Amino acid sequence: MSDQFSKDQEFLLPATGTFIVLSIAAALLLNWLPWQGLWLALRPDFVALVLLYWCTHKPHRIGIGIAFIVGIFADVADSSLFGQHALSYSVLAFGGIMLHRRIQMFDVREQPLQVFPLLLASYTTFAAVHWVTGGKISWEYFLGCLTSALLWLPMSMMLQSMRRTRIDPDEL
Amino acid sequence: MDSTQSFRFFNRGPSAAARLIFFVLLSLLLLFIDARYKHLESIRNVLALPIQATQRLVTNLITQPGLLWDQFNDYLDTQGNLARENIQLRQQHTVYATQLLQLQVLQAENAHLRNLFEVSQQADFPMQMAEIVYHERDIFKRKVYVDKGSQKNVVAGQVVMDETGVIGQVTRVYPWLSEVTLITDKDHAVPIQVLRTGLRAVVFGSGNISNLALRYMPISADIQVGDELVTSGIDGTYPPGLPVAKVIQIERDPAYPFARILCSPLAGVDQQRQLMIISGLHKLPELPPAETIPAEIKGKKSRRSKQ
């Protein structure tokens, strides 16, 4: 199963702009659901995951600039300080672009471990801004980092399968 | 579009590190401006319109099945339940009616006394109902969004309460929404008065759902467990006499100059859905002009206050 994911990379459909935009929009909507309490702490950051997916798989199309713009949108929706999400997503995108060959080298089951430090860096950036401006950190915030890393596997498999051709290449 | 990628060997623009530095600096600049000044509020309002519309749509889609289920349950509510509730309400009504009679007498007496003392009449504060749309999705803050905004003349600084006490304060106003900071938000301050003794103080949110802290009260302060705290109205933001919190725990440790006093909010800060927005911004007389202090003393004072 896992071999299939790494082997047929060449047969993936080119990712169209609309598909990328739609996937990011869907992730934003998932983030904007009314999460509360412990669920909010456990909520994986869908936007960060989708951005990281595109940064590692299409590093020439989705870069730090787009991550920054998406971050600004997230800032407005969460009424956090302007630039807080933007900063953490920029750091994440940079990590994804620098390490995209390394991450793609690994099997899809081993990728969460590779992705985790990047997510942690982005979460830490976000919390650090809070710490500088507000003077406190709630540690349960970092739980979201773990769940995000766990969600990487199903999510990248899902996006990968959506980019695969519908028609079986062996048919003809 | 993807196929053209291979032809662009070297002109990929600035390197990733350069871009990172650019965007990090840009967001730090934005952070600084947003934290210190209010210039970005208009941009935020423009961006917020479409975002909040979609957010609300999604929230409604998720919560609608729950609402339908609630209505179905209401429909199945047995007649016995309704009858019992009816009796309870009747009893409550008689109690309230007698209390209301007393209140009218007291009000008349109060008005008379006020006239005697030539105290300006306290204005009736206009209020409007609002409903919580959703909670803040930021784990660091205690905020809610209500469904009345600048279109309904909500102004930042207005007080939000339920029928039992103060819940918070409007801190940011969008056209159709406004953001309410709860009194339990970290470091949100409410000027209060102890109802029993008239002692004035300021109560701070502790960031915890169910706790407020009364800081900087000397150990010898006359305050007991169970004391009720009401707004003092001195700041001109909160109307006077609204119940805020109740003292639940006092620690008097002689090693510290201040007593540790914990209070719990009286209002259901995290329970209500319907809230009242009160415009308590009545005109206060202007502050007398500050005395001109000689420069030396001023310098000394500011240095001391920084320590």
Per-residue pLDDT tens over the stretch B186-214: 878 899 999 888 888 999 988 777 788 88
- Model confidence at B2, pLDDT cuts 50, 70, 90, reads very low
**Residue A25 lies inside a defined structural domain of this protein:** no
A15 domain residue, yes or no: no
Contact A82 B40 (CB under 8 A): yes
- Give me the pLDDT at residue A125, please: 92
B248 pLDDT band, cuts 50/70/90, is: very high
| A102-129 pLDDT per residue, tens | 998 888 888 999 999 999 999 999 999 9
CB contact under 8 A, B20 and A77: no
Whether A43 is in a domain gets the answer yes
Q: Are the Cβ atoms of B140 and A134 closer than 8 angstroms?
A: yes
Instruction: Kindly report the nearest CA distance between residue B42 and chain A, in angstroms.
Output: 11
> Who contacts A67 (Cβ-Cβ below 8 Å, separation ≥6)?
A51, A55, A86, A89, A90, A92, A93, B23
Look at chain A and report how many structural domains it folds into.
1
Q: Is residue B270 over pLDDT 80? A: no
What's the ipTM?
0.81
pLDDT, one tens digit per residue, over B27-66 is: 999 988 888 887 788 888 888 888 888 887 777 777 666 6
Residues of B whose CB is below 8 A from A141: 139-140
The residue of A46, A79, A136 whose CB has the most chain B CBs within 10 angstroms, and thus the best one to mutate to test that interface, is: A79
List the domain range (segments joined by +) for residue A110.
2-9+36-162
The highest-level CATH class for domain B127-283 is mainly beta
Q: Is a pLDDT exceeding 60 seen at residue B160? A: yes
Chain A residues lying within 8 Å of B17, measured CB to CB: 94
Q: What is the band of A81 on the pLDDT scale with cuts at 50, 70, 90? A: confident
pLDDT of residue B148: 87
- Our CA-based measurement puts residue B290 at a distance from the nearest CA of chain A, in whole angstroms, of 31
Percent pLDDT > 70 in chain B is 79
Residue A132 lies in a domain: yes
State mean pLDDT over B156-179.
86
Give B131's contacts (C-beta < 8 A, 6+ positions apart).
B146, B147, B273, B274, B275
Per-residue confidence (pLDDT) for residue B14, from 0 to 100: 79
Q: What is the mean pLDDT of residues A37-66?
A: 89
Contact at 8 Å (CB) between B243 and B250? Answer: no
Long-range contacts from B152-158, C-beta under 8 angstroms, 24+ separation = B152/B128, B154/B128, B154/B130, B154/B178, B154/B277, B155/B279, B155/B281, B157/B237, B157/B281, B158/B277, B158/B278, B158/B279, B158/B280, B158/B281
**What global pTM score does this model have?**
0.62
Residue A70's pLDDT is what?
Answer: 94
- Structure tokens given for A29: 């909507």
Query: Where is average pLDDT lowest: A90-94, B153-157, B270-274?
Result: B270-274
Rounded mean pLDDT, A96-100: 91
For residue range B71-123, list pLDDT tens digits in order: 677 767 677 788 888 889 998 888 888 888 888 888 877 876 776 665 444 54
Using a CB-CB cut-off of 8 Å, the residues of chain A touching B134 are 34
Is A20 among the domain residues? no
Query: Which of A17, A82, A91 has the CB atom closest to B34's CB atom?
Result: A82
Please give the average per-residue pLDDT across B217-237, as a whole number.
Answer: 86
Tell me what the pLDDT averaged over chain A comes to. 85
Average pLDDT score over chain B = 79
Average pLDDT over residues A14-30: 88
Domain for residue A48, yes or no?
Answer: yes
pLDDT at A83 > cutoff 80: yes
Please answer yes or no on whether A83 and B186 come within 8 Å at the CB atom.
Answer: no
* Helix H or strand E encompassing B202: strand B200-205
Q: Do B3 and A14 touch (CB under 8 A)?
A: yes
Residue range B288-299, pLDDT digits in tens: 776 665 555 544
